[in-house]
Structure 1
């Protein structure tokens, strides 16, 4: 990991304690950095109606959107308190494909710092886009 990525790892790992996971007890945290050096963090936020739960990576990305989308998301790191990297869900992959460049980096570390690294296009190679909506609306 680069020093900047190590900073994301440390922030996210420290942020795990802030997850709201009273049902699964599975804490997840995320941290992202933009090309302007701005950092946003997020945690998973559960709800007794599980469909309303929000994943950590979406919380971080939505925070970036809410702040006015400064710069472009360069790197997103997602961590759970696990012995192996965890993978983002399909909904998060779709949001990543909309808000991040296809070559943006996604880092998936375990709790010790060993990690897998992917580009967004590797996580969702055939994504649903605004072109799909346009094509469907024009029929």
Structure 2
């Protein structure tokens, strides 16, 4: 199976910038995933946690379950904070990478590529003029379609 999306392997800086774009988007995905996972855990156990906290004299088993649920929510919140920081780092790294990659490509590499394309166009025009002159010298009319 062949990929239909061509990778920009013609230029390292373009590849670097697009990889940084993927890192940038992964940062947002990490934050969204962490928030969603934390909310799922919190809402999944919310009713049971509230009912156990409302008990005046919980049994040993109920008290253990209450501590377990509270600890699970604490861990989920701590994980969310960690993954949010990781996501923020990925976003910043992605922005910096995109800036460095695209700016280096646009300011240093692309002008050379444009100059090469202009030179090739000029060469092609000169070759066309030379071909027309050769054909005219042989008596062939090249101005008619």
Q: Say yes or no: TM over 0.5.
A: no
Q: Give TM-score scaled by structure 1 length.
A: 0.23
Q: Give TM-score scaled by structure 2 length.
A: 0.22
Bigger relative contact order (CA 8 A; separation at least 6): 2
Larger CA Rg, structure 1 vs 2: 2
Q: Which has the higher strand share?
A: 1
Q: Which has the higher helix share?
A: 2
